[in-house]
Amino acid sequence: MASGTGGATSTTERASDAAGAPRRALAARPIGLAAVGMVLLVAVSLPFAMSNFRLFQFTQVLTYAIALLGLNMLTGYNGQFSLGHGAFYGIGAYTTAIMIDRWDIGYGWTIPVAGIVCLVVGFLFGRPALRLEGLYLALATFSLALAVPQILKYFEHWTGGSQGIVLSKPKAPFGLRLTEDQWLYYLTLAITIVLFVVAWNLLRGRVGRAIVAIRDNHIAAEAMGINSALYKSVVFGVSAAYTGIAGALSAIAIAFVAPDSFNVFLSITLLTGIVIGGFATISGAIYGALFVQFVPNWAQDISKAAPWAIFGVFLIVFMYVMPRGIAGFLHLVWIRLTAPAVSREQGR
Amino acid sequence: MSLFTRFIALLLVGGLAMTAGAGAAAAQTVVGVTATEIKIGNTNPYSGPASAYGTIGKVIGAYFKKVNDEGGVNGRKINYITLDDQYSPPKTVEMVRRLVEQDQVAVLFQTLGTPPNSAIHKYVNQQKVPHLFVATGATKWNDPQNFPWTMGYQPNYQTEGRVYAAYALKHVKDPKVGILYQNDDYGKDYLKGFEDGLGENKKMIVMKQTYEVTDPTIDSQIVNLKNSGANVFFNITTPKFAAQAIKKANEIGWKPLHFLNNVSSSLGTVLKPAGLEASRDLITALYMKEVTDPQWKNDKGFTEWVAFMKKYYPDGALDDQSNAFGYNVAILMTQVLKQAGNDLSRENIMKQAANVKNFELPLLLPGIKVNTSPTDFAPIEQEQLAKFDGEKWALFGETIDAVKK
């Protein structure tokens, strides 16, 4: 998940540093794996070093990371803009909440169901959205973000209306001696790892190349025999499924859902996350999640009067210093450190 | 030394050590309190869709600053930590957990909004943190049996709805009621109170119309209500829509007995924009002094509040009722701390909050008092009806006590 895997650079850049690439790739592999191992080690040992409150925040970071990865697949890799992923987050959260609250189903089962529901909804929304490109698609998805909170209020019998649904936090199973927060953290971490591995496999291979090819030039992609329409709607579905699972996990961790939780602002926050983290990178989802979780809180600590102005300054500074997001920035640092001669030749 | 005396000595030493240990432990359980300060936590929407309410959090901070400048409560300064939750329940959970687990506040006070408070309701009761005087008109905060750590503050919407129903039944011959309400929990709470108040006469309601907060106007709803032949109109709307409704009803010459919910009783933001003549004969139920109502111009409570605002919160608007609301409730909180004396354990703070007797607040209507008990977690339950005479809200009738029927 570290810089070694953040490799979805655009085709032009690939060509330009092709000379150094094979050698570096050989050297990068073990170091990259070691970095991923380190990150995992830190992630696993976190519960022993942190208070329950901090763990709860990191659980939220992980759920954001899943949602951001989903959105990045769609927007970063496939070039379809979505301003409405907060809606899928909400649908996932409500699927879980309704199943637990109304039907007494174990929370563990509700997570995959939330993913499947969002997969279907996302796929179906993706079909007609095929006709829309760029900004028009962004507007169409924006309408989704606007509509979902009201729709949730409308089906009051199921959703509890604007009062929402109160859930109970699950206790650790199998007699594990973990607090509720520790258990939820590990559960979320496990699901995050699985989903990242799946995404990594999906985006690195043939399918990933097809997805990126559609973004870069869809006519050329179709000429090469890629079924653009199918790919686009499947990516939409998978992306929605990831975000839905994130929503389900957040509903369990927060133990409450209400329409106010899934407003337009959430959708915009998610988009901010992928841009800051690194467009079309896998590791960027984690950096972006850390950013959207912690930076607003810091902004508030710095200035109570105008936290969002401070947040805005942070955003501008990040975009100015790291135009390709945090993942892109780290990748650049990595290149400089491992092959200084090559990067100088590139005239950067 | 014989074995026996040694044994006794050992017991004594052991016993002393244990009591000392217990003493230290007892001192530690007083969370959020030191010899010089007490920590109070709060969440408010300083940004996001409900940020207009954020001024309540600010005016409370300003009042606590005044208390601290005057020496604090029993020698302790109030350390008021207020965080922005954007009116978003997940954010509220995060912020409240921060306040409880990291900042270690003694009490949570005036957390704002029904959904945000619903999200933390269970948690604060599990943690046994006093969750006092929450800023929402929902009915569920008065439930000491199941949620002994949560307490409401203002009269709830259902009570107010019942007051209007009783008035209509008593004063209108053959009432035909038309209702306009905002389609959310706030609107439905009022509606439920009103319908409960009508009881078996529920079919007197000839038409119900709704609107969404996002709607641009409610003109067509008003026309529909007029055409339904209703002679009583219950107007359950927030300020912007209330002003529109009053104006439109006047324009199309509809003159029913018009109940305006307390939420929109401000002269400054509702009646003046709607037109004072058009607002004549509106009826509402009040529990606070309207700060834009000229009749309070020389009232002691009002002038004190103005002086306070000018000194401690000069940015705050003097025509915003929220600033009066926050001022009142901050005084009540200070009173609870005073009553608790030097025992500021969470248990005792809760006990004192449930033991407020006939306490008057400067901006409550004369005669309306704060009362709580271990079985009554609804501090303000009195209201008084008022009719708009073209210039001010003219109070009439007796103070209506929701507890006594």
What 3 state SS string does A182-207 have?
Answer: HHHHHHHHHHHHHHHHHHHHHHHCHH
- Residue-averaged pLDDT of chain B: 87
Separation CA B275–CA B246 (nearest Å): 8
* Nearest residue in A to B99, CA atom: A53
Phi-psi domain of B174 (left: phi exceeds 0; alpha: psi -120 through 50; beta: other):
left
Q: How far is CA A127 from CA A142, A230, A232, A276, in A?
A: 16, 8, 8, 29
Q: Which of A168, A254, A297 would you mutate first to test chain B, the one with the most B CBs within 10 A?
A: A254
pLDDT, average across residues B375-383:
90
- Of B405, B317, B398, B323, the closest CA to residue B363 belongs to B323
- H/E run at residue B44: strand B37-44
Q: How many angstroms away from the CA of A261 is the closest CA of chain B?
A: 5
Contacting residues for B144 by C-beta, under 8 A, at least 6 apart: B354, B374, B375, B376, B377
B-chain residues within 8 Å CB-CB of A304?
A: 46, 82, 84
pLDDT, average across residues B280-306:
92
The structure tokens listed for B304 are: 């004190």
B-chain residues within 8 Å CB-CB of A163?
A: 114-115, 118, 185
Separation CA A275–CA A272 (nearest Å): 5
Sign of the alpha-carbon torsion through A69, A75, A80, A85: positive
CB pairs under 8 A between A and B: 80
Amino acid of residue A24: R
Burial category of A176 from C-beta neighbours within 10 Å (exposed 0-12, middle 13-18, buried 19 and up): exposed
Q: At A342, is the pLDDT very low, low, confident or very high (cuts 50, 70, 90)?
A: low
Sign of the alpha-carbon torsion through A10, A227, A85, A132: positive
Q: At B3, is the pLDDT very low, low, confident or very high (cuts 50, 70, 90)?
A: low
By the CB < 8 Å criterion, does B122 face chain A?
yes
Percentage of the residues of chain B whose pLDDT score is greater than 70:
92
- H/E run at residue B361: none
* Residue B230 clears pLDDT 80, i.e. is over it: yes
In contact, A292 and A11? CB cutoff 8 Å: no
* Residue A348 clears pLDDT 70, i.e. is over it: no
Amino acid of residue A207: V
Q: Which of A55, A64, A260 would you mutate first to test chain B, the one with the most B CBs within 10 A?
A: A260
Cβ of A308 and B49 within 8 Å? Answer: no
| C-beta neighbour count of A332 within 10 angstroms | 15
Altogether, the residues listed in chain A come to a count of 348
Burial B112-126 (b: 16+ CB within 10 A, else e): bbbbbbbbbbbbbbe
B-chain residues within 8 Å CB-CB of A261?
A: 88-90, 115
Q: Is residue B316 part of a domain?
A: yes
By the CB < 8 Å criterion, does A157 face chain B?
no
- Of A28, A138, A145, the closest CA to residue A81 belongs to A138
Residues B244 and B163 in one domain: yes
Cβ of B90 and A307 within 8 Å? Answer: no
Residues B128 and B60 in one domain: yes
Cβ of A51 and B102 within 8 Å? Answer: yes
Q: At B405, is the pLDDT very low, low, confident or very high (cuts 50, 70, 90)?
A: very low
CATH code 3.10.450 for A3-345: no
By the CB < 8 Å criterion, does B55 face chain A?
no
Q: At A186, is the pLDDT very low, low, confident or very high (cuts 50, 70, 90)?
A: very high
Output B292 or B314, whichever has higher pLDDT: B314
Residues B162 and B282 in one domain: yes
**pLDDT the model gives residue B254:** 93
B-chain residues within 8 Å CB-CB of A254?
A: 89-90, 93, 119
* Residue B20 clears pLDDT 70, i.e. is over it: no
Among the residue ranges A17-26, A89-98, A327-336, B197-206, the one predicted with the least confidence is: A17-26
Q: Is residue B328 part of a domain?
A: yes
Strand order, beta sheet including B37-44: B77-84, B37-44, B107-109, B131-132
* Nearest residue in A to B44, CA atom: A304
Domain ranges of chain A: 3-345
The structure tokens listed for B337 are: 């701390």
pLDDT one-digit tens code per residue, B115-126 = 889 889 999 998
* Residue B252 clears pLDDT 80, i.e. is over it: yes
pLDDT, average across residues B151-163:
89
Output B138 or B122, whichever has higher pLDDT: B122
Interface of B with A in 178-217 (CB under 8 A): 183-185, 188, 212, 214
Q: Looking at residue B150, what DSSP letter applies?
A: B
B-chain residues within 8 Å CB-CB of A263?
A: 48-49, 88
Separation CA B126–CA B82 (nearest Å): 22
Phi-psi domain of B185 (left: phi exceeds 0; alpha: psi -120 through 50; beta: other):
alpha
What 3 state SS string does B366-404 have?
Answer: CCCCECCECCECCCCCEEEEEEECCCCEEECCCCEECCC
* Residue B206 clears pLDDT 90, i.e. is over it: yes
Separation CA B366–CA B360 (nearest Å): 8
Cβ of A163 and B122 within 8 Å? Answer: no
Q: Can you give the CATH number for the domain in which B223 is found?
A: 3.40.50.2300
Separation CA B387–CA B293 (nearest Å): 12
**pLDDT the model gives residue A20:** 43
In contact, A153 and A259? CB cutoff 8 Å: yes
Percentage of the residues of chain B whose pLDDT score is greater than 90:
59
**What spatial distance separates the first Cα and last Cα of chain B, rounded to whole Å?**
76
Q: Which of A146, A256, A310 would you mutate first to test chain B, the one with the most B CBs within 10 A?
A: A256
Separation CA A173–CA A322 (nearest Å): 43
Cβ of B102 and A53 within 8 Å? Answer: yes
A-chain residues within 8 Å CB-CB of B102?
A: 51, 53
A-chain residues within 8 Å CB-CB of B98?
A: 53
Separation CA B135–CA B54 (nearest Å): 11
Cβ of A256 and B89 within 8 Å? Answer: yes
* Nearest residue in B to A57, CA atom: B94
In contact, B164 and B285? CB cutoff 8 Å: yes
Separation CA B381–CA B369 (nearest Å): 8
- Of B124, B31, B33, the closest CA to residue B79 belongs to B33
Q: How far is CA A193 from CA A200, A346, B80, in A?
A: 10, 36, 40
In contact, B398 and B283? CB cutoff 8 Å: no
Separation CA B372–CA B308 (nearest Å): 27
Cβ of A53 and B101 within 8 Å? Answer: yes
Output A322 or A5, whichever has higher pLDDT: A322
Separation CA B192–CA B283 (nearest Å): 19
In contact, B376 and B145? CB cutoff 8 Å: no
Q: Is residue B394 part of a domain?
A: no
In contact, B384 and B352? CB cutoff 8 Å: no
Q: Looking at residue A171, what DSSP letter applies?
A: P
Contacting residues for B249 by C-beta, under 8 A, at least 6 apart: B222, B226, B233, B255, B256, B258, B278
* Nearest residue in A to B96, CA atom: A53
Strands B107-109 and B393-395: unpaired
* Nearest residue in A to B114, CA atom: A163
Separation CA A237–CA A243 (nearest Å): 10
Q: At B207, is the pLDDT very low, low, confident or very high (cuts 50, 70, 90)?
A: very high
Out of A60, A161, A256, name the one closest to residue B185 (CB): A161
* Residue A89 clears pLDDT 90, i.e. is over it: yes
Output A25 or B80, whichever has higher pLDDT: B80
Contacting residues for A264 by C-beta, under 8 A, at least 6 apart: A83, A86, A142, A145, A146
By the CB < 8 Å criterion, does A239 face chain B?
no
Output A174 or B29, whichever has higher pLDDT: A174
Separation CA B296–CA B290 (nearest Å): 8
A-chain residues within 8 Å CB-CB of B125?
A: none
Give me the phi and psi of B95, to 5 degrees please: -65, -40
* Residue B213 clears pLDDT 80, i.e. is over it: no
- Residues β-bridged to residue A161: none
A264: Cα separation from own chain's centroid: 17
Separation CA A100–CA A257 (nearest Å): 12
Taking CA A335 as the corner, what is the angle to CA A331 and CA A341, rounded to the nearest 5 degrees?
A: 160
Cβ of B97 and A53 within 8 Å? Answer: yes
Cβ of A300 and B184 within 8 Å? Answer: no
SS3 A168: coil
A-chain residues within 8 Å CB-CB of B82?
A: 304
By the CB < 8 Å criterion, does B62 face chain A?
no
Q: Is residue B344 part of a domain?
A: yes
The structure tokens listed for A210 are: 């097809």
Q: At A319, is the pLDDT very low, low, confident or very high (cuts 50, 70, 90)?
A: confident
pLDDT, average across residues A214-234:
86
For the entire predicted model, the pTM comes to 0.79
Residues B227 and B317 in one domain: no
- Of B339, B361, B358, B366, the closest CA to residue B350 belongs to B339
Q: How far is CA B54 from CA A21, B215, B291, B325, in A?
A: 55, 23, 18, 12
Separation CA B60–CA B46 (nearest Å): 13
Give me the phi and psi of B56, to 5 degrees please: -65, -45
By the CB < 8 Å criterion, does B98 face chain A?
yes
pLDDT, average across residues B177-182:
94
pLDDT one-digit tens code per residue, A299-317 = 888 877 777 888 888 888 8
Q: At B27, is the pLDDT very low, low, confident or very high (cuts 50, 70, 90)?
A: very low
By the CB < 8 Å criterion, does A56 face chain B?
yes
SS3 B103: coil
By the CB < 8 Å criterion, does A263 face chain B?
yes
* Residue B300 clears pLDDT 90, i.e. is over it: yes
- Residue-averaged pLDDT of chain A: 83
Taking CA A247 as the corner, what is the angle to CA A243 and CA A251, rounded to the nearest 5 degrees?
A: 170
A-chain residues within 8 Å CB-CB of B188?
A: 161
Interface ipTM > 0.95: no
pLDDT, average across residues A228-245:
91
Q: Is residue B67 part of a domain?
A: yes
pLDDT one-digit tens code per residue, B47-66 = 877 788 889 999 999 999 99
Domain count for chain B, please give it: 3
**pLDDT the model gives residue A133:** 77
* Residue B2 clears pLDDT 90, i.e. is over it: no
Out of B84, B87, B115, name the one closest to residue A164 (CB): B115
* Nearest residue in A to B55, CA atom: A305
Residues B142 and B48 in one domain: yes
The structure tokens listed for A137 are: 């698609």
Q: At B4, is the pLDDT very low, low, confident or very high (cuts 50, 70, 90)?
A: low
Q: Write out the residue range of the structural domain in which residue B342 sits.
A: 37-155+298-381
- Residues β-bridged to residue B78: B38
Q: Is residue B403 part of a domain?
A: no
By the CB < 8 Å criterion, does A292 face chain B?
no
- Of A110, A91, A74, A223, the closest CA to residue A152 belongs to A91
B-chain residues within 8 Å CB-CB of A265?
A: 48, 86, 88
* Residue B10 clears pLDDT 70, i.e. is over it: no
In contact, A102 and A110? CB cutoff 8 Å: no
The structure tokens listed for A274 are: 């992928």
Q: At B1, is the pLDDT very low, low, confident or very high (cuts 50, 70, 90)?
A: very low
B-chain residues within 8 Å CB-CB of A179?
A: none
* Nearest residue in A to B84, CA atom: A300
Residues B18 and B63 in one domain: no
Percentage of the residues of chain A whose pLDDT score is greater than 70:
89
B-chain residues within 8 Å CB-CB of A161?
A: 184-185, 188
Q: At A46, is the pLDDT very low, low, confident or very high (cuts 50, 70, 90)?
A: confident
Q: How many angstroms away from the CA of A301 is the closest CA of chain B?
A: 9
In contact, B184 and B209? CB cutoff 8 Å: no
Out of B82, B84, B184, name the one closest to residue A307 (CB): B84
A-chain residues within 8 Å CB-CB of B89?
A: 164, 254, 256-258, 260-261
